Structure 1
Amino acid sequence: MSTTDTDQDQDFIAAPSPTEQIVAPSPTEQVVAPSKPPRARVSDAVDPEESAGAKLERKRDYLEGFLQKKPEGANAGEPGGELYEKVIAALKEIYDPEIPVNIYDLGLIYGVEVGPESDVIVTMTLTTPHCPVAESMPGEVELRAASVPGVRDAEVNLVWDPPWSPEKMTDEARLELGML
């Protein structure tokens, strides 16, 4: 019973690395266990000179400035540009009458191009060629895009190739429709 108690009190040594050679001690040589490395302590990691306010300031969201910054050198008509983003916002206000999702998130808008003279060309499709709003939806898209301040003229190109499919919807639209 006393042998198990002494085994529990004994410090164990980690196995040697594969590159380390093991030399057996001679019978007269005394074996000395290598010393253990010091334990990591929380007090070693804490900077005593850093105040609580400085620590809180350091922990603020490091992406805060990054997410608010606009792309450098983006023209008003390029993705990320002011006019382009306003046109997209206007298109997101148009809802499909049969589906309670805006046409942008539904994936009906294939492209928005803003020309150097603030002319907007919207390439879009509809869910099917026999859609009940096939006659009125392109006109509404053209009116909304043209009504954005700064847009000189708007044009809509209605295309059927590639055909629309549910895979073109954003995750937000799928969630709204219960498809996720």
Structure 2
Amino acid sequence: MNDAEMQKTGDDIVDVLRSIFDPEIPVDIYELGLIYDVQVSSEGDVKILMTLTSPNCPVAESLPEEVKQKVGTIAEVKDVEVEITFDPPWSKEMMSEEAMLELGFL
């Protein structure tokens, strides 16, 4: 995969991430700021570094699995690794302006 294809795949991944919603907050996980990093290798391997709104999040097990499954449906993606981190911990300041507007924070 060349640089342009890796960029296109990265854009496709972001589109998929925008279709996944936190069940407690009516905003997608990308706009919520739960996605810290997305890396795409030239071989089509994807590594996603993400967090949850709290360590006790009720979807702590199912949300990363949903991310892995949905990103894995992209044709160019060969393998998906999802890593959860709480460093730095999520806060509402990590949300996009769009998410803050949606939730009435602006």
**TM score, norm. by length of structure 1:** 0.57
Paired residues for 1:14-93 under 5 Å = 74-77=3-6, 81-93=7-19
Instruction: Kindly state the Cα deviation for residue 74 of structure 1 after the two structures are TM-superposed.
Output: 4.4
Rg (Cα) greater in structure: 1
AA in 1 matched with 2:5: A
Gaps of 5+ in 1: 1-72
Paired residues for 1:120-135 under 5 Å = 120-135=46-61
DSSP 3-state at the match of 1:151: coil
Instruction: Kindly state the Cα deviation for residue 83 of structure 1 after the two structures are TM-superposed.
Output: 0.6
Partner Cα separation in structure 2 for residue 74 and residue 173 of structure 1: 30
Partner Cα separation in structure 2 for residue 76 and residue 173 of structure 1: 29
Partner Cα separation in structure 2 for residue 75 and residue 124 of structure 1: 24
* 1:172 maps onto 2:102 in alignment: no
* Equivalent residue, structure 2, for 1:100: 26
* Equivalent residue, structure 1, for 2:87: 161
DSSP 3-state at the match of 1:138: helix
Instruction: Kindly state the Cα deviation for residue 135 of structure 1 after the two structures are TM-superposed.
Output: 1.1
Partner Cα separation in structure 2 for residue 153 and residue 114 of structure 1: 10
Instruction: Kindly state the Cα deviation for residue 161 of structure 1 after the two structures are TM-superposed.
Output: 0.5
Partner Cα separation in structure 2 for residue 91 and residue 146 of structure 1: 11
Q: Which has the higher strand share?
A: 2
RCO higher in structure (CA 8 A, sep ≥6): 2
Instruction: Kindly state the Cα deviation for residue 116 of structure 1 after the two structures are TM-superposed.
Output: 1.1
Partner Cα separation in structure 1 for residue 18 and residue 75 of structure 2: 16
Instruction: Kindly state the Cα deviation for residue 171 of structure 1 after the two structures are TM-superposed.
Output: 0.3
Q: CA RMSD in A?
A: 1.2
Which ranges of 4 or more aligned residues in structure 1 deviate by more than 6 Å? none
Partner Cα separation in structure 2 for residue 125 and residue 82 of structure 1: 24
Counting matched residue pairs gives 105
DSSP 3-state at the match of 1:76: helix
* 1:115 maps onto 2:44 in alignment: no
